[in-house]
Every structure is written in structure tokens, then in C-alpha cells.
Amino acid sequence: MSRSLRILWDDKLTSYDFGPTHPLNPVRVELTMALARDHGVLDHPNVEVAGFAAAGDDLIGLVHDPGYIAAVKRAGGTGSPELAHGLGSPDNPVFPGMHEAAALVTGASVAAAEAVWSGEAEHAANVAGGLHHAMRDSASGFCVYNDPAIAIAWLLENGARRVAYVDVDVHHGDGVQAAFFDDPRVLTISLHEGPHTLFPGTGHSHETDTAGTAVNVALPPGTGDAAWLRAFHAVVPPLLRAFDPEILVTQHGCDSHALDPLAHLSLTVDGQRAAYEALHGLAHEITGGRWVLTGGGGYELVHVVPRAWTHLLAEAAGRPIDPATPTPDSWREFVRRRTGQNAPQRMTDRAAGQEPPTTDVKSWADGYDPASRLDQAVLATRRAVFPEHGLDPLTET
């Protein structure tokens, strides 16, 4: 009998480490797994924590050039930059064993895809994955190998005819888009802060292909829960229903949070949790529950990432955690010992007795506000891609 959720995990995943001063600190996934464990998420009878093999060169080569793979190996072995391939930059400093660490992250995401595609698990997760910026021949944006793109390429190699990828990271999922641009078998949807104010400077609504399968929602800085969810529901469900994918792959960077130090959106953990619930529901509605989920960005290491991704795993397990639930004493003590910081007291951003931040969504069907920067962004996306899917940009929901 298949499990509802397989979590791919090995402590060695924390070896993907650019150093103690780099924003992408692997302590965030260590704290996530500890919080999920202390909340009992990993102990549910329908949840399995499983090992996996590192990705080999042939697998990585589904997306990356052989010369680039060789450069990653050289850089990780010698410690010398390979600047022509983006290795040794401030964003992507060289570290020992870089190839092995990145291949391990990739192996976990491919194992998640394989578990779901084979029917061994309904959902599968790699919270250490989601390295969506890596390009065919270069590292970019803290990403060495593009594990979600490689997982999608593996699915296509193994018989998938339609794969949908939804990316809710605050940064544009440019590497995954580039890997499948003009491939009508893959629908990529990225909701992100607009390119005028944030790396990588791409992801305009007009960046699409002839089939309308590259979809970008460029959100204005300051977008909060209700507005973000309005954009999500105005774009993602109608496109997924029209595309009718066989499997859903999602990237869950939680750097859209108001506390994230690298970006400028204003979501709460509660709003992010609502997005996870929506994607889970869409997986069951459209793909028969076949759902592969990864982590992604997230640079507030204690107060945001562990809670957001524990909510994600709990939602995928079908055992969502009440936001009012206190964080376990054991976890808070672990955080103090591990980081020297005081951990959040509860699984919500609201104070005790305070009403939750609103995640009520004003439906697109209720009308478009031409004075709203958010509605302008959403309409631009809908106009760019909805007609290619037989959908009306103004009315379809």
C-alpha cells in the first residue's frame, strides 16, 4: 500500500553549504526537520521518511551541459573559481564537495518524482530542493544544479506527457522556465516579486512562449496575504484545469514573508500556509493527488523557514497543524542551542488572542480594479497566456 507522503531526507543534505556568512544557510532545513519531527509530522502512519541515491552525471545531464558538470566537479575539488560557469561569485562561492552536495539534493528531488510517478507515494517532498535558478551551463542565485527541472525532465523521460510546475518563491523561477521554454508538455507558473525590484530581473508577464506554457505573475513590492492569494487564485487554478497535467511539481520558497531580508513582499506564515492548502487541493482535483514538492528560497532562518515548511509537510501529510498550536518546548530549546536565537512561540504570526491575518480572497469574478497595481499585474498575465488555453482573460476563474 502506498503512503500518502514520502519525505526524502538524509542529514548529508546539509552539506550543500556556501559558508557561515552566506544567506542560504543549511541550518534552515535542519531546523525544519527538527520542528516537523517534534510536532509528530514524521510519525504519522501515512508518512515515510526515506533515503535516496545522489544523482549521477547522466541524470544531471538531462538539464545541464557535460562541460558544466565537469566544471562543478573541478571547482569543488580544487577550490578554484570557474567564473565562466558562475562558480566562485559572491552568490555562488566554491566549496569543497560542491558537486557531491548538489548531486545529493538533485537525487532527492528525482527520487520524490519517481516515488509519485510509480505510485509508491501519493505525494513526495524534498525540502532541501527547489534550486530553481541554475541554468544549463551556469550556476545562478545560490543554485548549482536545477533539481526541480531535472526531476521534471526525468518525468518526461519516463512517460509523462503533461507536467505542471508552480513556483511560489519570491524570486522568478527562471532556470526551470528556461529549461522548458517552448516545450508544450510542461506548464511553468511563477508568482514572484516583479523584476524591476528583485533578482534575477526577469519574469515579466510578456515572457511567454507561443503555447502560453511559460506563465509569470510579477507582483508589486509590499504585496501581502490577501492580495497574493487573489493573484494566485486568479491565475493558477484556471490554468491548471485547462492544461490538465498528469502530475504537479511545486517549489515553495518562503522568502515571500515580510521578515525575509532579501526581498520585499509581505506575506505571513498564515498566508503561505493557505497557499500550501490550495496547491494540495488542486493536486487532488486535477492530478489524482500526484504531487511532488520542494523547498526553495527563505532567508529568515529561525522564525520563517522552519514553521512555513513544517506547515507544508503537515499539509501534504493530510494532518495540517492548527496555526494557534505552540511550537514544542524541545524545539525551542534546540533552536537556542543551535543558533543562539529565541524561537517563535507559536505556529502562526498572530499574537495570542489576536485575529489571524486575513487570507480571504476577493475573487477575480467579483471585478477588476484598474487602479490596483496588483490587478494590473494579474490582468497582464491573464492577457498574455489565457487565450492560448481557451480562457477569457477578463472573466474566466
Pick the catalytic residue: 39, 64, 132, 133? 133
| Closest among 209, 168, 213, 167 to 187, alpha carbons compared | 213
Q: What is the CA 184 to chain-centroid distance, rounded?
A: 22
Residue 113, C-alpha cell as written in the block? 518524482
131, 41 contact by CB (below 8 A): no
Instruction: Report the SS3 class of residue 208.
Output: coil
324, 348 contact by CB (below 8 A): yes
Contact residues for 281 (Cβ-Cβ < 8 A; gap 6+): none
Measured CA angle at 241 (ends 237, 243), to 5 deg: 115
Can 133 be counted among the known catalytic residues? Answer: yes
389, 241 contact by CB (below 8 A): no
Residue 307, C-alpha cell as written in the block? 514553521
| Closest among 190, 274, 160, 186 to 225, alpha carbons compared | 274
Which residue has 490550495 as its cell numbers?
A: 278
Catalytic residues: 133
